[in-house]
Amino acid sequence: MKVLNLISDCNKYVLSQEYPASIIDISAYLTLMDSADFARNHIAVDQAFVDLPAVYKSELSNRFYSTYISDVISSDLRGNIEFCAPILWGSLTKEDKKQIGKRFDKEIVEGDAKKIQRALTYIQIVGGMMYVSGASRKIIVEPLVNAMSESLDDWDKERSFAKQLQPFARFMPSELLPKFVEAITRTYVGYKGSSYSYARKNYYSYGAAHYIKEMFESFDSEATDCFVEVVKTDTTLRPRISEKDQLDRLRVLGNILLESEIASADAAKFLERLCDEENTEEFLTKVLPKLKKS
């Protein structure tokens, strides 16, 4: 009877359960990734990772990070980590993600520029910027914000700095936000010019424009308030938006923020008046505050 009961229990509790997924050997898997034979199949890679025990996922995540930022790594392995790491990242716990963020913070403190750049690339690939400390973000972003501000109307530089700033737009440190919003708003609006060779009068960096629109699409209410303040008070912007084409470009940014529906009541009211094309004169003469003469 005991044997029969054992068999019954085995059928009920063991054999009836789905066979456990096989666990990959991390070292063997990395070795396979370090070759052109590794198959970049999203479903297969996801299946290899999804059923791993949490401790294995944590170990693999750290191995990916350490390998990627190392001085010696093949192009095959680098490319395969770039393919696999975001897939693994989606199944990690918040604590595992924080751990990678802390490792990146440590790289910033140690100051190896090449390793920092590789680590930053990894963080951007997996979408882990939110797990990087504010202090580290400021160290990386502040020089870019300053450079963007100082490069007004230098279209090549504006494009380069806008491209570099775009991944940080959602995670801009609060103390840098006003200058950041000011710089990209000025760049997008551009200026009125003239040319003997072309009929064009609306001058701005084409290369920077789409990056800036993407950044505005990621704005929160604090960044929106900064935009409103820039429009109200910026002495560089004010004479530029007295021209129709430049005001129209400013309205493009205003409409992006209106459509996002994240503005405070006061900011939304101002944006509505900015974007009201039928009352342009009233906006320029009555809604905008007069600027103090320097």
Partners of 192 in beta bridges:
202
**DSSP states along 1-43:** -HHHHHHHHHIIIIITSPPPPPPP-HHHHHHHHSSTT----HH
For residue 27, CA distances in Å to 18, 40, 67, 134, 278 come to 27, 18, 12, 34, 66
The single residue listed with the structure tokens 């093949």 is: 74
Residues 6 or more apart whose CB falls under 8 angstroms from that of 87 comprise 42, 45, 46, 49
pTM of the model: 0.82
Per residue of the chain (294 residues), give pLDDT as tens.
Answer: 676 677 676 565 544 544 444 566 888 888 999 988 898 999 989 988 888 889 989 999 999 999 999 988 999 999 999 999 999 999 999 999 999 999 999 999 999 999 999 999 999 999 999 999 999 999 999 999 999 999 999 999 999 999 999 999 999 999 999 999 999 999 999 998 765 555 567 889 999 999 999 999 999 999 999 999 999 999 999 999 999 999 999 999 999 999 999 999 999 999 999 999 999 999 999 999 998 765
Structure tokens at 19: 């066979």
pLDDT of residue 12: 58
Q: Report d(CA 258, CA 181) in Å as an integer.
A: 16
Mark out the alpha helices in 92-243 (DSSP H runs). Answer: 94-110, 113-126, 134-150, 155-165, 177-189, 206-217, 221-233, 237-240
> What integer best gives the mean pLDDT of the chain?
90
Looking at residue 15, what is its pLDDT?
45
Q: pLDDT tens across 69-98, in order?
A: 998 899 999 999 999 999 999 999 999 999
